[in-house]
């Protein structure tokens, strides 16, 4: 039979087809088993076997006696395995999981940058006035009793895909239950209304406890509602929208609008700008580069130190092993511009000095700055006319140092000097760049981006935008995992048992979702030592990502929590352990069957600090107690004597210092420089941060008024980062300067209460308060009674009232020499990151502050000075007036102001009083801009341009008590591995032994002992069983109540502990005394009953 005929046979055709199929199958099988065999074996292995990471516990942190300060507790963590999710079920799992977490009120990781329902002002002018829309919404809800209406609101979207129901009152209940207390009120929707009902057996007991016995369920919940709860509620997008609608329905929403979809980056940018807008020239629209220069020139948010520009000009920087002197760059640019400033520069010990070539004038640096501001050059990149200062300070060689000095001053404007953009803007552009394939650009709006992502992720149209965002936020986290799909992604930390149970019960709905028990950081003492320990957070900042995630050998994953501040940050690498793993066999839905292999996690090293936790608690409790009593003009009660806060007088008796809301105290070991305690009030609970802080908790830690620099800031480490005038506690420095210049400590000066100089009156406190005088006073008595007149006379070299010479004279250089010896011009060296050094006074600083105050005066009166006056014109006026002869008469000032187009007679406002521009320039600016003997008077008594932190002051007193031995302050005792082997022992480092006559120290210490026994602090220590040396200080701050300072060391004959305490707006210096007394008593063991105390053995452990 021919072949053609055979092919026509259907049976043969069938056989051929079957043969072809088998040949194809054989080929495919051989390809799969031979060519791709390894690949598919690995794939099958990865599906069957799972390598589960075992996070290592962080090392413990303990105090010097081994008391636990930071440990680890097991915690339920919800994880998602990226490679166990398919394209088909990813959206479903994300939707169900986040809906469950929402329902249970759990905090989950939400880093998706498109958010919903932002309440904003319609007019940007409201932001300039320091207002905050959320704060105002909260106030309106409370003022008009609209919480009831808000609790009636809800949102539902029920589809076959999901049953999403959100009730505002139920969220309020969950927040209130966050401390572990159940609220027996059932909240549900019935017939389109929110229903409230009590449930349970112990209702009456609960109602009695909460004082709501006669209230209905809803009213009971309202009774528990406060401002903090409302702020927490308004973090949720649905509640923000409902709150806006409630206000709108009541005619209270005229100044607000809802921004339905917005970038969190834009809100971060606006918040950042608002925080900087108290710096002149910074507006919501000003550029990052211009703002950068404004910060360097103004430093308004950090008025307790010299201007940053002065720091930049005073230092020698090193670049590529060559010296970089910024002042020389200014001079070079000026000369290139045809201007010779006539200034010579010299360098001594790494510091730069400026001096006129042909005349004596201490303000040569200021003159150089003024010229560099006034003279313009062309920017080669933009072709715009810019000041020489802007050109130099943003130069590629200089900008890094400029940025460093800004950060060192305590300001972080988050400006990238590489791109001259704010980091929120850079982050937004970087995020959008991921979606170029979807047609997104830097200018894509949040609404358009959201819609494009919704389409790209194939999110069902029946789902609301809230639910769509649930899907997006989880996929955002999964996408960040990148190629590490085998590693779990943590979605929620510390979830409740009930949430864990529901995930387990419905595991078929949650494929790829696991709940693992992991170690979570725990701080068993809560707020105790919070600013020493610091807090934790997720790896989020660009430099953190580069350090920990981009380096494959770092041992970190995106799930890791790292130290962000304090000791947790400084010793991150030591506290971080080595993660382990277990390789397990899993079933088809990912449930573990067998453990195939494992490697134990190695815990981090344990850190022992030098602080005494019990002493720390006493310090913190004493600060809180003192503030409460000061605010009520009450009494500090103690076994060592009660102290009445009644010295500050008001119109109707003792003043209640309501603004005394912040304070700090520091205790240092005199013998070693070890930190014994460092307390700040207010403080915070670092447990809030252990698994990533919620937005609600983060907002609660912010000051109510960002523009008030003295507003309570729980996160601020006052003791290390706030430098203020020391007041009379600085007088020991002046006394030592006098002794070093030959002053006889026994020589009496007739202290006549006040003196007059340069048209000003300088009074002693006894004259200012009572019209009295101290009379014949030697140095011991001057310290004992805190006699200002005595120290004024030291500066003058003679008694200006009697014209009698005293045989010695101290000037600014003499005082700053001694101050620097005590370390008051540098950091103490403590291992806690972020320390900020206060500075000793300088002649140049005064003119800078005078110009700044002048500028502020002009800004405050901008609308009255001249129609259409711009910020730039104000800057020019300040520069112009700074070039005038400061001795010119009032008539000449009037004529010059007329020529400049200003009304010299118009009444303006200065601290609420009428003041003409003429009088401000003549009698305030000209007087303040020049440095003279009057300024030295102020500096001798700790006023003027003195600025120091509490930890600097504590070390100054410790150095004084040890007769001039200055230690590096340390908080580290030792570092041990998890087996208890010592790895590192803390160093007790002596920085310097002051080359002063030891008898000089005895003089000032004796004066301090006299102050405790029969001087300004006698009421505080009259019942104290140990001899001490002390000094009170009262520092003045324009526009605020006085700061109260108190320093002490003990025992007097063998000093072991030195303490400094400051109470912001705390009135008289003695008001801080009881705090220092309680700290000393606790340290010396005086509070221990029936125990004989051996002071010398106190430190043995």
**Beta-strand relationship, 990-993 and 49-54:** unpaired
Least confident of 2-11, 558-567, 840-849, 858-867: 2-11
In whole angstroms, how large is the CA radius of gyration of the chain? 34
Is residue 850 helix, strand or coil? helix
Neighbours of 838 (CB within 10 A): 24
The reply to whether 401 and 318 lie within a common domain is: yes
Range of the domain at 178: 123-254
pLDDT of residue 759: 81
pLDDT digits (tens, 9 = 90+) for 194-236: 999 999 888 889 999 999 999 999 999 999 999 889 988 999 9
pLDDT digits (tens, 9 = 90+) for 589-636: 556 667 777 788 899 999 999 999 999 999 999 999 999 999 999 999
* Mean pLDDT in residue range 555-573: 91
* Distances in whole angstroms, Cα of residue 323 to Cα of each of 233, 318, 402: 55, 5, 15
* Mean pLDDT in residue range 460-466: 95
Domain assignment present for residue 850? The answer is yes
pLDDT of residue 1033: 95
- Of 980 and 242, the structure prediction assigns the larger pLDDT to 242
User: Position of tokens 């950060």?
Assistant: 407
* Distances in whole angstroms, Cα of residue 838 to Cα of each of 44, 721, 950, 1031, 1056: 64, 9, 10, 20, 25
Is a pLDDT exceeding 90 seen at residue 344?
no
Is a pLDDT exceeding 60 seen at residue 1094?
no
Least confident of 497-506, 742-751, 921-930: 921-930
* Distances in whole angstroms, Cα of residue 772 to Cα of each of 646, 828, 934, 1042, 1068: 20, 40, 22, 21, 18
* Mean pLDDT in residue range 1072-1080: 97
* Distances in whole angstroms, Cα of residue 672 to Cα of each of 532, 968, 979, 1026, 1082: 19, 8, 28, 21, 19
* Mean pLDDT in residue range 1073-1098: 75
Domain boundary among 931, 952, 982: 931
Is a pLDDT exceeding 50 seen at residue 1096?
no
The reply to whether 395 and 534 lie within a common domain is: no
Domain assignment present for residue 327? The answer is yes
Residue 737 tokens read as: 């300067």
Residue 845 tokens read as: 């600083």
Is residue 599 helix, strand or coil? strand
Least confident of 165-179, 653-667, 759-773, 1078-1092: 1078-1092
Domain boundary among 609, 638, 656: 609
The reply to whether 597 and 499 lie within a common domain is: yes
User: pLDDT tier at 587 (50, 70, 90 boundaries)?
Assistant: low
The reply to whether 524 and 602 lie within a common domain is: yes
pLDDT digits (tens, 9 = 90+) for 976-1009: 998 888 898 888 899 999 999 999 999 999 999 9
Backbone phi, then psi, for 794, in 5-degree steps? -60, -40
Least confident of 128-137, 760-769, 970-979, 1065-1074: 128-137
Is a pLDDT exceeding 50 seen at residue 54?
yes
Q: How far apart (Å, rounded) are the C-alpha atoms in residues 534 and 362? A: 43
Q: Are 1031 and 1011 in contact (CB under 8 A)?
A: yes
Is a pLDDT exceeding 80 seen at residue 1016?
yes
Domain boundary among 560, 592, 609: 609
* Mean pLDDT in residue range 791-818: 93
Is a pLDDT exceeding 80 seen at residue 171?
yes
The reply to whether 482 and 522 lie within a common domain is: yes
Q: How far apart (Å, rounded) are the C-alpha atoms in residues 1067 and 624? A: 16
pLDDT of residue 630: 95
User: pLDDT tier at 8 (50, 70, 90 boundaries)?
Assistant: low
pLDDT digits (tens, 9 = 90+) for 776-794: 999 999 999 999 999 999 9
Least confident of 377-381, 470-474, 774-778: 377-381
Q: Are 1057 and 667 in contact (CB under 8 A)?
A: yes
The reply to whether 882 and 981 lie within a common domain is: no
Q: How far apart (Å, rounded) are the C-alpha atoms in residues 650 and 286? A: 45
pLDDT of residue 837: 85
Domain assignment present for residue 1019? The answer is no
The reply to whether 101 and 134 lie within a common domain is: no
* Mean pLDDT in residue range 413-421: 92
Is a pLDDT exceeding 60 seen at residue 360?
no
Measured at the alpha carbon of residue 952, what is the angle toward residues 524 and 1082, in degrees to the nearest 5? 45
Neighbours of 324 (CB within 10 A): 15
User: pLDDT tier at 35 (50, 70, 90 boundaries)?
Assistant: low
Q: How far apart (Å, rounded) are the C-alpha atoms in residues 385 and 369? A: 17
Which residues, in sequence order, are bridge partners of residue 80?
Answer: 489, 513
pLDDT of residue 319: 86
pLDDT of residue 631: 94
Q: Are 64 and 610 in contact (CB under 8 A)?
A: yes
CATH number at residue 573: 3.90.1310.10
Is a pLDDT exceeding 80 seen at residue 588?
no
pLDDT of residue 130: 62
pLDDT of residue 702: 81
User: Residue ranges of the alpha helices (H) in 537-669?
Assistant: 542-544, 566-570, 572-575, 613-631
pLDDT digits (tens, 9 = 90+) for 90-133: 999 999 999 999 999 898 989 899 999 999 998 877 776 667 89
Least confident of 449-458, 488-497, 770-779, 1024-1033: 488-497
Half-sphere exposure of 129 (CA within 13 A, CB side): 9
Is a pLDDT exceeding 50 seen at residue 555?
yes
Residue 80 tokens read as: 């998602």
pLDDT of residue 253: 94
Domain assignment present for residue 688? The answer is no
The reply to whether 129 and 94 lie within a common domain is: no
Q: Are 1071 and 1061 in contact (CB under 8 A)?
A: no
pLDDT digits (tens, 9 = 90+) for 302-329: 434 467 888 888 888 988 888 899 989 9
User: pLDDT tier at 65 (50, 70, 90 boundaries)?
Assistant: very high
For 682, counting Cβ atoms within 10 Å of its Cβ (0-12 exposed, 13-18 middle, 19+ buried), the class is buried
* Mean pLDDT in residue range 444-473: 95
Dihedral of the CA atoms 769, 1040, 1067, 928 (nearest 10)? Answer: -50
- Of 46 and 265, the structure prediction assigns the larger pLDDT to 265
pLDDT digits (tens, 9 = 90+) for 577-586: 998 887 777 6
User: pLDDT tier at 477 (50, 70, 90 boundaries)?
Assistant: confident
Domain assignment present for residue 628? The answer is no
User: pLDDT tier at 810 (50, 70, 90 boundaries)?
Assistant: very high
SS3 annotation, 208-266: HHCCCCCCCHHHHHHHCCCHHHHHHHCCCHHHHHHHHHHHHHCCCCCCEEEEEEEEHHH
pLDDT of residue 302: 41
* Mean pLDDT in residue range 1032-1053: 91
pLDDT of residue 915: 78
Domain assignment present for residue 704? The answer is no
pLDDT of residue 306: 61
The reply to whether 33 and 150 lie within a common domain is: no
User: Into how many domains does the chain fold?
Assistant: 6
Neighbours of 37 (CB within 10 A): 12
pLDDT of residue 680: 97
CATH number at residue 773: 3.40.710.10
* Mean pLDDT in residue range 713-729: 94
pLDDT of residue 28: 77
Domain assignment present for residue 721? The answer is no
The reply to whether 859 and 927 lie within a common domain is: yes
Domain assignment present for residue 44? The answer is yes
SS3 annotation, 35-62: HCHHHHHHHHHHHHEEEEEECCCCCCEE
The reply to whether 804 and 947 lie within a common domain is: yes
* Distances in whole angstroms, Cα of residue 554 to Cα of each of 271, 564, 578, 649: 33, 17, 10, 61
The reply to whether 174 and 288 lie within a common domain is: no
**Beta-strand relationship, 68-81 and 513-522:** antiparallel
User: pLDDT tier at 748 (50, 70, 90 boundaries)?
Assistant: very high
């Amino acid at each position: 039979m021919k072949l053609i005929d055979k092919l026509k046979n259907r049976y043969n055709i069938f056989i051929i087809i079957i043969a072809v199929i088998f040949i194809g199958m054989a080929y495919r099988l051989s390809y799969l088993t031979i060519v791709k065999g390894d690949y598919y074996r690995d794939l099958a292995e990865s599906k069957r076997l799972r390598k589960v990471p075992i996070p290592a516990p962080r090392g413990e942190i303990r105090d010097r006696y081994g008391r636990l300060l930071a440990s680890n507790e097991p915690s339920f963590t919800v994880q998602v395995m990226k490679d166990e999710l398919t394209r088909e079920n990813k959206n479903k799992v994300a939707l169900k999981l986040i809906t469950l977490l929402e329902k249970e009120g759990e905090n989950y990781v939400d880093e998706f940058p498109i958010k919903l329902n932002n309440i904003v002002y319609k007019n940007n002018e409201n932001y300039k006035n320091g207002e905050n829309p959320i704060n105002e919404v909260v106030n309106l809800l409370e003022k008009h009793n609209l919480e009831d209406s808000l609790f009636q609101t809800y949102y539902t979207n029920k589809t076959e895909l999901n049953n999403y129901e959100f009730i505002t009152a139920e969220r309020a209940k969950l927040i209130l239950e966050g401390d572990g207390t159940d609220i027996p009120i059932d909240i549900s929707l019935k017939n389109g209304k929110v229903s409230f009902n009590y449930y349970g057996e112990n209702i009456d007991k609960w109602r009695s406890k909460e004082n709501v016995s006669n209230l209905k369920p809803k009213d009971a919940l309202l009774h528990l509602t406060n401002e903090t709860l409302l702020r927490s509620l308004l973090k949720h997008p649905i509640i923000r929208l409902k709150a806006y609608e409630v206000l709108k329905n009541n005619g209270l929403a005229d100044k607000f609008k809802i921004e339905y979809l917005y970038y969190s980056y834009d809100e971060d940018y606006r918040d950042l700008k608002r925080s900087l807008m108290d710096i002149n020239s910074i507006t919501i629209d000003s550029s990052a580069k211009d703002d950068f220069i404004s910060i360097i020139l103004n430093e308004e948010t950090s008025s307790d130190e010299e201007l940053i520009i002065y720091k930049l000009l005073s230092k020698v920087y090193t670049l590529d092993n060559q010296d970089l002197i910024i002042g020389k760059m200014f001079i070079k640019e000026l000369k290139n511009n045809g201007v010779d400033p006539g200034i010579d520069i010299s360098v001594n010990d790494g510091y730069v000095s400026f001096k006129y070539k042909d005349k004596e004038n201490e303000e040569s640096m200021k003159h150089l700055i003024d010229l560099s501001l006034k003279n313009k050059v062309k920017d080669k990149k933009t072709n715009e006319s810019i000041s020489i200062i802007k050109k130099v300070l943003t130069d590629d060689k200089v900008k890094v140092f400029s940025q460093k000095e800004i950060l060192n001053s305590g300001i972080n404007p988050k400006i990238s000097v590489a791109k001259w953009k704010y980091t929120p803007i850079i982050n937004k552009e970087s995020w959008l760049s991921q979606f170029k394939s979807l047609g997104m650009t830097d200018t894509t709006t949040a609404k358009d981006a959201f819609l494009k992502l919704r389409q790209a992720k194939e999110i069902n149209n029946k789902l609301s935008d809230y639910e769509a965002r649930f899907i997006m936020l989880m996929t955002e986290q999964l996408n960040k995992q990148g190629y590490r799909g085998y590693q779990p992604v943590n979605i929620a930390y510390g979830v409740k048992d009930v949430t864990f149970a529901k995930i387990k019960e419905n595991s078929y709905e949650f494929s790829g979702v696991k709940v693992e028990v992991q170690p979570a950081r725990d701080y068993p003492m809560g707020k105790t030592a919070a600013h020493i320990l610091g807090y934790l957070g997720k790896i989020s900042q660009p430099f953190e990502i580069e350090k920990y995630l981009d380096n494959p050998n770092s041992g970190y994953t995106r799930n890791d929590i790292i130290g962000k501040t304090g000791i947790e940050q400084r010793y991150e690498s030591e506290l971080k352990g080595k993660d382990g793993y277990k390789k397990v066999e899993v079933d088809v839905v990912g449930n573990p069957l067998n453990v195939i292999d494992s490697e134990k996690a190695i815990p981090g090293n344990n850190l022992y600090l030098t602080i005494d936790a019990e002493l720390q608690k006493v310090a913190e409790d004493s600060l809180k107690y003192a503030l409460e009593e000061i605010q009520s003009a009450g009494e500090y009660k103690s076994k060592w004597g009660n102290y009445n806060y009644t010295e500050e007088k008001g119109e109707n008796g003792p003043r209640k210092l309501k603004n005394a809301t912040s304070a700090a105290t520091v205790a240092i070991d005199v013998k070693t420089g070890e930190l014994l305690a460092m307390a700040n009030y207010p403080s915070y609970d670092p447990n809030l941060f252990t698994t990533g802080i919620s937005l609600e908790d983060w907002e609660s830690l912010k000051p109510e008024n960002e523009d008030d620099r003295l507003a309570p800031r729980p996160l601020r480490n006052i003791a290390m980062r706030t430098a203020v005038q020391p007041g009379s506690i600085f007088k020991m420095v002046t006394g030592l300067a006098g002794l070093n210049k030959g002053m006889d400590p026994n020589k009496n000066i007739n202290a006549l209460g006040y003196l007059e100089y340069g048209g000003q009156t300088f009074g002693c406190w006894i004259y200012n308060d009572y019209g009295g005088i101290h009379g014949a006073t030697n140095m011991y008595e001057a310290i004992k009674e805190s006699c200002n007149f005595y120290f004024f006379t030291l500066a003058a070299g003679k008694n200006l009232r009697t014209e009698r010479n005293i045989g010695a004279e101290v000037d600014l250089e003499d005082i700053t020499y001694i101050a620097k010896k005590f370390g008051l011009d540098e950091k103490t060296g403590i291992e806690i990151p972020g320390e900020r050094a206060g500075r000793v006074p300088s002649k140049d600083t005064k003119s800078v502050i005078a110009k700044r105050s002048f500028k502020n005066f002009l800004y405050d009166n901008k609308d009255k000075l001249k129609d259409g006056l711009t910020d730039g014109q104000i800057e020019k006026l300040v520069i112009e007036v700074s070039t005038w002869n400061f001795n010119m008469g009032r008539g000449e000032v009037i004529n010059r102001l007329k020529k400049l187009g200003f009304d010299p007679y118009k009444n303006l406002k200065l601290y609420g009083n009428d003041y003409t521009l003429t009088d401000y320039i003549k009698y305030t600016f000209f007087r303040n801009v020049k440095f003279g003997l009057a300024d030295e008077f102020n500096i001798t008594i700790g006023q003027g341009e003195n600025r120091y932190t509490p930890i600097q002051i504590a070390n100054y007193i410790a150095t004084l008590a040890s007769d001039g031995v200055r230690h590096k302050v340390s908080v580290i005792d030792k570092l041990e591995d998890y087996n208890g082997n010592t790895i590192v022992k803390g160093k007790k480092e002596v920085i310097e032994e002051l080359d002063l006559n030891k008898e000089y120290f005895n003089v000032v210490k004796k004066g301090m002992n006299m102050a405790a026994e029969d001087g300004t602090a006698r009421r505080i220590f009259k019942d104290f069983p140990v001899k001490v040396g002390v000094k009170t200080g009262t520092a003045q701050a324009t526009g605020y109540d006085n700061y109260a300072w108190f320093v002490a060391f003990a025992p007097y004959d063998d000093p072991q502990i030195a303490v400094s305490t400051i109470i912001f707006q705390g009135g008289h210096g003695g008001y801080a005394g009881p705090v220092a007394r309680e700290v000393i008593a606790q340290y010396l063991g005086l509070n221990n009953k029936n125990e004989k105390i051996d002071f010398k053995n106190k430190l043995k452990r």
